[in-house]
Chains A and B, each alone.
Chain A
Amino acid sequence: MALNRDFIGRSFPPTEPYEVSRVKIREFADAIGDRNPVYRDQEAAKAAGHPDVIAPPTFPIVVSLGNPALADPDLNLNYAMVVHGEQRFEYTRPVRAGDVVTCTSTVTEIKSIGSNEKMVVETDIKTVEGELICKTYNTIVERGA
């Protein structure tokens, strides 16, 4: 079924604050097999000029997953048919332990490509103090039956 075009341009309220922990960053770094000490050792992170351990470049997906834009039943999205099409991150700085962040998402594009539906969601990941850390561009594709 076609996605609801009324969602184009729609913005969603900021998500509940997410507190980034050292444990979560280390767990993520372990899961991707990355042994870089700046992800797990505070001293190494400080020596590299960071106030605390930092997170790998794709870590922001952890806080931007569970996008409210995709959960609205009026969108007509069949989640079983969704594949991840594209992903992009634009960084102001790395996410780091101690950051308390919220995600604010906007649907910027919905269009048909053959029998598939493509949708782009842009998300600003900001600290609760208002600092923009990262902007994400998430393209999902709903495969046609």
Chain B
Amino acid sequence: MTAKVNYADVEVGTEIPAQTYAVDRANLVMYAGASGDFNPIHWRESVAKAVGLPDVIAHGMYTMAQGGRFVTDWAGDPAAVVDYGVRFSSPVVVPDEGGATLEISGQVEEKLDDNKVVVALTARSNDQKVLTRAKAVVKLA
């Protein structure tokens, strides 16, 4: 399979519509089990607060995974992602009641050779940028 987005159809500046993703404590418990990262700051409020965090925070890799999902849903083919990197700039705080919301949007930042494009991602939660320098290189059709 190849990507469902055509290289010829995107330009530098093409926007990828924002998506919102809900994050609650159950997601973090599932992610801890699936990833093997059992650091208690991701599921135990007393431990998170004892190390100076406002509350339980999401795994950085959970947030990065949502960015990956955003890109692969757009591209239509996970195998089209050839490079993906982020910097974790601020934690996603996940309260016991109500959880948190993650909003991710994207923009084509550069067109490369060989049908590849650089997609720059913006990820926010609670009015904070939670990822910076978040970029994926995607090989389009």
Binding site for B on A (CB under 8 A): 24, 27-28, 30-34, 36, 38-39, 47-50, 54, 56-58, 61-62, 65-66, 80, 83-91, 93-94, 137
Which of A28, A62, A80, A84 meets B60, CB within 8 Å? A84
- Nearest residue in A to B83 (C-beta to C-beta)? A90
B94 to chain A, nearest CB (A): 14
Chain B interface size range: 35 or more
Contact at B84–A57, with CB atoms within 8 Å?
yes
Pick the interface stretch among B74-82, B104-112, B120-128: B74-82
If the complex has contacts A50-B79, A66-B36, are A85 and B88 also in contact, measured as CB distance less than 8 A?
yes
Given contact pairs A84-B88, A86-B87, A65 touches B35 in the complex (Cβ within 8 A): yes
Indicate if B66 sits at the interface (CB-CB under 8 A). Answer: yes
Asked if A137 and B61 make an inter-chain contact with CB atoms under 8 angstroms apart, the answer reads no
Nearest B residue (CB) for A38: B78
Closest 9 CB pairs of A and B: A88-B85, A48-B1, A31-B34, A31-B30, A32-B65, A57-B68, A84-B60, A58-B65, A28-B34
- Residues on A with beta carbons closer than 8 Å to the beta carbon of B35: 28, 31, 61-62, 65
Chain B residues closer than 8 Å to A137, beta-carbon distance:
85
Partner of B68, one of A30, A47, A58, A84: A58
| C-alpha spacing A43/B120, complex, angstroms | 32
B140 close to chain A: CB less than 8 A:
no
For A89, give the chain B residue with the smallest CB separation.
Answer: B84
Q: Which residues on the A side are within 8 Å of B87 (C-beta)? A: 85-86
Does B86 touch A at the CB level, under 8 Å?
Answer: yes
Task: Tell me, yes or no, whether B64 is within 8 Å of chain A by CB.
Answer: yes
A31 with B31, Cβ < 8 A, contacts A57-B81, A89-B83, A137-B85 known: yes
- Within the complex, the shortest CB–CB distance from B102 to chain A, in Å, comes to 11
Contacts of A89 in B (CB 8 A): 83-85
CB distance from B43 to the nearest CB of A (A): 13
Can you sample 21 A-B contacts with CB below 8 Å? A31-B33, A32-B31, A32-B34, A33-B27, A36-B72, A36-B78, A38-B78, A48-B1, A49-B79, A54-B78, A57-B68, A57-B136, A62-B35, A62-B36, A66-B36, A83-B60, A87-B61, A90-B82, A91-B81, A91-B83, A94-B79
